[in-house]
A and B are shown apart, each in its own frame.
Chain A
Amino acid sequence: MRDPDFARLRARLLENGIPRRHVRRTLGELEDHYRDLMEEAAVNGASVEDARAQAAARLGEMDDVIAGMLACRDLRSWAYRYPRIAVIFYPLACLFALPAMPVIAGVSNAPLLARWGASLLLAGLFTGTMLLVLQLSILFG
């Protein structure tokens, strides 16, 4: 028997609006439970393969877990519980966030921007100095 399909469980929960943090926690608990069941079977004398099969059978169908999670409305993210509000809120939030994006990007990339600015300043000074020298040599040369 195969291991329970935790990857599919994860994908189904995420695509149905269960928050990422909650999905991580659920998977952690289920994987721990699976490990406990395997250890219990091994202690009772099962071979590794039998222990896996028994543990998977006792853990049950992942579809039942998915159905249970999705049946509980409170476990879903607010955007899934109130889709009409989300449809209004998200575009508005984007509208207000848009002007702030360059500032946020600047703050989060401050060292890079500082290096870039310093390089630009040095390049400008060097070019200006060269032009000045050229100009002076024409005038007094």
Chain B
Amino acid sequence: MAQSNPPFMSGVPELLLLRLLDQQEMYGYELVRSIRKVTGEAISLGEGVIYPVLHGLEKNGSLRSRRKAVAGRTRVYYALTRKGRDRLDKLRSDWHRIQGGITTALENPSHA
């Protein structure tokens, strides 16, 4: 069955992609496989939606891409730029702040 993931488009993919590309350059299919692996398949997405996110990040300077021939195919590899690293730091601190707030709210509902 086809998967549709509007929630996936709300900032989580950006964070995950930047985090994964901080370690090494990867192409789209490889990135999705890594997302499935590192999230323990908790995040299941229509894999095609990764490309608009990647292209948007490249356009705003967070990523750069290069074509590389691998096993008879030309892959588009993405890598993080310095701007992307700054963006990752910001998203990561935002995520921890929000996660902390939600955890507090869940554990102490009377304070909410």
Contact = CB atoms under 8 A, between A and B. Distances in A.
Nearest to B65: A25
Range for the number of chain B residues in contact with chain A: 20 to 34
B52 interface: yes
Interface string B27-63: 1110010000000000001111101110110011000
Consensus secondary structure, chain A interface:
helix
Contact of A37 (B29, B45, B51): B29
A36 interface: yes
Range for the number of chain A residues in contact with chain B: 20 to 34
Given A60-B5, A64-B4, A33 B52 contact: no
B53 A68 contact: yes
B59 A60 contact: no
Given A59-B48, A60-B46, A64-B4, A32 B55 contact: no
Interface of B: 1-6, 9, 27-29, 32, 45-49, 51-53, 55-56, 59-60, 73-76
